[in-house]
Structure 1
């Protein structure tokens, strides 16, 4: 196959940005198509690449946690997303948490600087000729969604995803709050904690379950991803659900030595701690209701919100029915899908899918003989296993977790399984890389890539 023909990557979210980088850094020309800011989505607010809209956390960074292992595997190939995340990190306990503006600015500037990347800012409504990677994410535009439906001959599945609010730090009364990490992890003061007594929690719970929410259309199923349920949906499942979920007090003790009944954790959004994310408080309450309900929390009487929570429809395909193990469409193998549209769930997993698609195309372009997909004993291979070997009748998106991996051939106590999975993955990935002689690439970030003037904001007429 000719190396000079460009690969068209549609969508410059995390998957598309990672895929474009992996291809371009290996000498393969890329045309990167991004419709923002010409046409915005319901969730995005800028035209920068890899803009984070739901959370600024890439989840656990523990190398024996499945998410931490996935990060290490991506880094071994020179991941642009993980490199930018580490360069833009803010304190987040055991998680890799980023300053979202600096993160997206670094990724945008890096891709804009690469001579093998051509950037076209427009909406794609027809799939180009040649090799194509569709990485349009969960908010694929209606016209392109229709083209994909026509190509696949079946309707998309969908679920509803929610975004947590962000509050201005200086609008809070922090006298009843305290900085601490659960069980003292990280720096020990990575989260601002809002403790609630039982009576305060019960009053807040009542506000949640009676709040007005944005109604869905009659023809749309009320189907949420279980890992990202709106806070009010969780509250309706029972009064004790939140203290065992996003408001659990375990591992936290107030400065006066008391144990709270429930705790809201606030995570910093930027290096200056001027904005705080309400962790786990994704919601579809009406904005006026969010202001009213959340201001009943201790210290929130005068809270000002930089962003209210939102709900939006996520589109993804029935991957086991339509994708092969190389992320190619069975009906038209020149077209690959990457990111959340495939049915992986989460920023980290989306970027990982983009990285793997880039690697596979590079191998096709550079290798004469056939090659094997990544082992399903690795985190990268386990994601593809979920997408291609799950039951298509019951397929649902998933984050990376060890249940997606090939099973261990040994019986071990639960406390030792993570280490065994991680050790096996590292060895099998190293063997696969040596077999196909795949070198890493190295993303390089300029010192000024995180400045405010390096970002592409939405023009006033679009906003």
Structure 2
């Protein structure tokens, strides 16, 4: 895939995983790259080292098995010559079924590879506005400086830029107990909407909550999605009160000092809502209005709704249940939800400081801002989550930009691969766009001809297909 020497210069802003990977891949393809990194002159509050590709949180790159989506993504990156995976493998430490690294040696290896490359020039300065040079890749990470974030917001519209993550958990569709739940949208075409609401209130002995302002938008969204846009997990009064008590009593992840978490009223952690009063959730994301349980013909006391995460509905997110609970606590508490007793969590929830754009609305097929041709985004600022995903986004962005600069047709990784899944996530419209780790829901599902397979077998077949398709794509390039 390497190209000949090119007259083009590319500016890459940010020396994290995404920026280093993008710069290296572009340079490997004959492009001259200027990588601008603000360290050592300035660090984000999370950073402690002057080296590039610093791992500021865990030293784990997560699961290594191919039956794990991130394990597949790592194997794909190895096969296509990722710098980050090469350095990770060289500096790995024992971690059972995961790939973990000696973080200092890893950062040293990444920094050494970047500084030694003959086509990469490193400049140490802070970038406070989008550079005028084109093309440019912004890979400034989740703690993008306020000044650069303001410059980006001015270019794309402040409403398309977020400064925090509010992520709800995602569960596998196969792990839901479908005998305990049903599909129906509020205000949709089902019996609950056509019925007499006064009678429903009388049946449940519950006052009907006042409709919040966003209900009109909900109705429009539900109408577009049809009457099966949501899966409903019904609670009786005792189940609901026990669930609320568990949320309040659960162990939470403490905010790190640099996060300065300031919750937005429209996107509160579920445990914060629960702590405000026993009925807060029942009048909020768990309100049962407009819904009738077909098994009883009555409106439940409360409902937790699930929304499809992908077109094939292989995964569902817990609507309105962003959380700061510790991971083990999330599994324990959310498995109290009727229908989720045996749930497989593809992603746990979180709330933390972050800066990212509404990628589906703003980015074109080459991860380029539609409003600013020549400005590309890579890594967490584009809306991926995690070390491996950030490196993968830098890799994909560089590959697509190199194809553009050679005036070639864009050839993104196939959607059946985990690398293609990065692009699938960045292009998948959501009611509220949220960053995400790679999950199997981002990868094209198997054809019906494969039949119904158990979860592990299905993931193994998907991994085999992904590597086969990746090898063919890479060989053709």
Using the size of structure 1 for normalisation, the TM-score is: 0.64
Alignment map for 1:395-434 (pairs within 5 Å): 395-410=433-448, 411-413=451-453, 414-434=455-475
Q: Helix, strand or coil: the match of 1:139?
A: coil
Q: Helix, strand or coil: the match of 1:32?
A: strand
For 1:377, which of 402, 409, 416 is the aligned residue? Answer: 416
Runs of 4+ in 1 over 6 A off after TM superposition: 209-215, 224-228
Offset at residue 121 of structure 1 (A): 0.7
Aligned counterpart, 1:79: 82
Alignment RMSD (CA, Å): 3.5
Offset at residue 127 of structure 1 (A): 2.2
Distance of 1:146 and 1:29 partners within structure 2? 28
Aligned counterpart, 2:287: none
Distance of 2:253 and 2:400 partners within structure 1? 50
Distance of 2:151 and 2:380 partners within structure 1? 17
Aligned counterpart, 1:171: none
Offset at residue 432 of structure 1 (A): 1.8
Offset at residue 136 of structure 1 (A): 0.3
Aligned counterpart, 1:363: 403
Aligned counterpart, 2:137: 133
Offset at residue 23 of structure 1 (A): 0.9
For 1:153, which of 153, 157, 177 is the aligned residue? Answer: 157
CA contact (8 A) 1:377 1:428 kept: yes
Aligned counterpart, 2:205: none
Q: Does 1:106 align with 2:106?
A: no
Offset at residue 434 of structure 1 (A): 2.8
Offset at residue 63 of structure 1 (A): 2.3
CA contact (8 A) 1:159 1:223 kept: no
Distance of 2:269 and 2:118 partners within structure 1? 43
CA contact (8 A) 1:43 1:312 kept: no
Distance of 2:256 and 2:45 partners within structure 1? 17
For 1:394, which of 421, 428, 432 is the aligned residue? Answer: 432
Aligned counterpart, 2:34: 31
Q: Helix, strand or coil: the match of 1:58?
A: strand
Aligned counterpart, 2:18: 15
Q: Helix, strand or coil: the match of 2:11?
A: strand
Distance of 2:107 and 2:47 partners within structure 1? 12
Choose 1 or 2 for highest CA Rg.
Answer: 2
Aligned counterpart, 1:326: 366
Distance of 1:91 and 1:47 partners within structure 2? 26
Offset at residue 79 of structure 1 (A): 0.7
Q: Does 1:337 align with 2:377?
A: yes
- Structure-2 change in CA distance of 1:222 and 1:427 (3 Å): same
User: What are the Cα deviations for residues 69-122 of structure 1, in whole angstroms up to 9, with x where unaligned?
Assistant: 111111112111001111110111110001111100110011111111111111
Aligned counterpart, 2:44: 41
Aligned counterpart, 2:126: 123
Offset at residue 383 of structure 1 (A): 1.1
User: What are the Cα deviations for residues 16-52 of structure 1, in whole angstroms up to 9, with x where unaligned?
Assistant: 0100111112221110011122121111111211100
Aligned counterpart, 1:275: none
Distance of 1:135 and 1:111 partners within structure 2? 15
CA contact (8 A) 1:3 1:365 kept: no
Alignment map for 1:261-280 (pairs within 5 Å): none
CA contact (8 A) 1:23 1:359 kept: yes
CA contact (8 A) 2:129 2:152 kept: no
- Structure-2 change in CA distance of 1:23 and 1:223 (3 Å): farther
CA contact (8 A) 1:15 1:135 kept: yes
CA contact (8 A) 1:89 1:99 kept: yes
Offset at residue 151 of structure 1 (A): 1.0
Aligned counterpart, 1:184: none
- Structure-2 change in CA distance of 1:212 and 1:102 (3 Å): closer
Alignment map for 1:213-292 (pairs within 5 Å): 216-217=261-262, 222=268, 230=324, 240-241=332-333
Unaligned runs of 5+ in 2: 168-247, 271-316, 337-348
Offset at residue 384 of structure 1 (A): 0.5
- Structure-2 change in CA distance of 1:243 and 1:408 (3 Å): closer
- Structure-2 change in CA distance of 1:94 and 1:114 (3 Å): same
